[in-house]
Structure formats: structure tokens, C-alpha cells
Amino acid sequence: MDKLKSPEKPFEISKWEVWEAFREVKRNQGAPGVDGQSIADFEADLKGNLYKIWNRMSSGTYFPPPVRAVEIPKQHGGGTRMLGVPTVADRVAQTVVARHLGIRVDPIFHEDSYGYRPNRSALDAVQRCRQRCWKKDWVIDLDIQKFFDSVRWDLIVKVVQAHTDAVWVTLYVERWLQAPLQLPDGTLQERDRGTPQGSAVSPVLANLFMHYAFDTWLARTFPDVQFERYADDAVVHCVSERQAREVLAALGNRMDEVGLRLHPDKTKIVYCKDGNRRGSYEHTSFT
């Protein structure tokens, strides 16, 4: 496909970028969005549909439709969580931006950030965590309450702007953040914060946000404290109960600063007991 931009288009987005984004969307599959169009339906006029996305994105006239909200049960019980399902066309457009950002920001991410990154997995995080638990007796098991529903738009836009000078990337990120959710009963829910969990662009936005809100802050404030983070969940390793309490209190304040909140029941200080560690400790929640 032609990699050159059309001279009358204000934004330099190539047709090749849109094509590669579609290939990624097709690999990931996924359900239809609010328009009911499946990937197979989209492919029935693939050339025309991809041209529409490219033409609108490169001219600044692409506006995302509402995101279909789907409730799914949480793992291990505990109610449901709301996922956002964009249309196939919108997933393609989001993937264009996600790929643009990903190649620029992934190299600067912390080595102990494991979620939504190439060649990294939750199993890698667990393996590293086990190794460190042999060396340090205490951990903070950290959970951010409703992260994807709560993350501040102004801070997301700020960190995006810090890593790209492409105006169109910021423009479309802002539009996706503001896109309403279409609830199962058909009503539209406007939002003033958050990025829908399940959208194609949310993973890189979440990681970029947490890179500054958590990773670099923790490394700077407590340089001797190690951690593993997978999206909005993290384990922080400490040498003593006293240090764990100090770090946990500081983390609570930090999350307040960036508009987030540690889950009061799921965030705990844990003593890593084994055959050589004879002590006992009652798990302490963060309150």
C-alpha cells in the first residue's frame, strides 16, 4: 500500500499503517461493537472500509462512535466488571494510534512492568516475584480500585504529548477518552474520566500513565525497593514490616495525587512465610 500521504491531508498517516492495524485487529478477533458489524462483515468491503478510516483520520474528521459496554463476571467471583467493545472500524483506528505510541514508549518502560507488552507475560512477573520473595520477607500486594474507570484524562493527555509531537495522536486520544458508553439497555453514559477496559488503545495509555504515576515514582522515592507490576496490579518487596508500612502509606498518598485510590480490601501487607521463616503475621489491609 502507498506509504505516502496525500498532499491535501493535514495529518501524515499512511495507508500502510491502517492496513497493518487491521491485520492486528483481525488476529485479535473480538465481538462486534454498537453497529453489530463483525470482522467478516467489515472484510466484505475491506478496501472501502480501510479507505474511509484512512481518509477521515488523515483529514482530522474521524469521530469515534459510542463504545458498547458489556458486563462480564470477575475472576474468582466478586461481581462483574464492565468492558468496552469498540466497533471493528474504531478498533482499527485505535490500533493505528496504539502502534504509533507503542514503538515510542515501550523502550522507556520500566523493566518490571509486564502487562500489555511484547514478549512479556503475567507468568514472567510471577517468576520474578517468586525469586525476590526468597530474598525479602515482606510484600505489599497492591490493587488500584477501578483503575480503568478512574484514570484522569488530563494526565493521560499530558503523558501522551510528552512522547509524540504528532498532533493527530493527541487529538484522537482525547476523542476516544470522551466517547460515551452504550449500556446494555441502549442508553448512552457520558464519562469525565477513565479509559474503557477492552479498547485497543487503553493498554498503552494505561501503561504510559502508570509508568509515571507508579513505576518511576517508586524507583525515585524508594530506590532500593523492587516491584513487579502487571497493568493496575503490583507486588512491592520490602525488607521489614516497618518499611512495608512506610512504602504503603506513601503509595496511598501518591495515588491520591494522581486521582486514583488503593483498594481498601485487596491491598495488603503480606509476610512471606516459608520453612526458614518462623514468624507469623496477620494480613493488614490498607485503610
Q: To the nearest 10°, the Cα dihedral for 238, 242, 244, 246?
A: -120
What are the CA-CA distances from residue 31 to residues 38, 88, 134, 176 (Å)? Answer: 7, 8, 43, 18
In a domain, 277, yes or no: no
In a domain, 9, yes or no: no
Range of the domain at 91: 15-271
In a domain, 10, yes or no: no
Q: 196: which residues sit within 8 A by CB, 6+ positions away? A: 67, 69, 83, 84, 86, 148, 181, 202
In a domain, 276, yes or no: no
Which CATH number covers residue 184? 3.90.1850.10
Number of compact structural domains in the chain: 1
Q: Give me the helices (H) in 135-221, please.
A: 147-150, 153-161, 167-178, 202-210, 216-221
pLDDT of residue 9: 75
Cα 64 to its chain centre, rounded Å, is: 19
pLDDT of residue 166: 96
Q: Which residues of 135-151 are buried (b: 16+ CB within 10 A; e: fewer)?
A: ebbbbbbbbbbebbebb
Residue 184 burial by Cβ neighbours in a 10 Å radius (0-12, 13-18, 19+): exposed
In a domain, 142, yes or no: yes
pLDDT of residue 78: 65
- Report the residue count for the chain: 287
Q: What are phi and psi of 177, to 5 degrees?
A: -60, -35
In a domain, 151, yes or no: yes
pLDDT of residue 272: 86
Give the global pTM: 0.90
Decide: 13 and 26 in contact? Cβ < 8 Å: no
pLDDT of residue 10: 82
What are the strands, taking DSSP E only, across the chain?
67-73, 80-85, 138-143, 181-182, 188-189, 226-230, 233-238, 268-271, 284-285
* CA separation for the pair 112, 147 (Å, rounded): 19
Decide: 179 and 67 in contact? Cβ < 8 Å: yes
In a domain, 115, yes or no: yes
In a domain, 7, yes or no: no
* CA separation for the pair 71, 184 (Å, rounded): 8
Instruction: Name which of 141, 126, 131 is nearest 269 in CA terms.
Output: 141
In tens digits, the chain (287 residues) has pLDDT values of 444 444 567 899 999 999 999 999 999 999 999 999 999 999 999 999 999 999 999 999 999 999 999 988 877 656 778 899 999 999 999 999 999 999 999 999 999 999 999 999 999 999 999 999 999 999 999 999 999 999 999 999 999 999 999 999 999 999 999 999 999 999 999 999 999 999 999 999 999 999 999 999 999 999 999 999 999 999 999 999 999 999 999 999 999 999 999 999 999 999 986 645 455 545 444 33
Reduce the DSSP state of residue 188 to 3 states and report it. strand
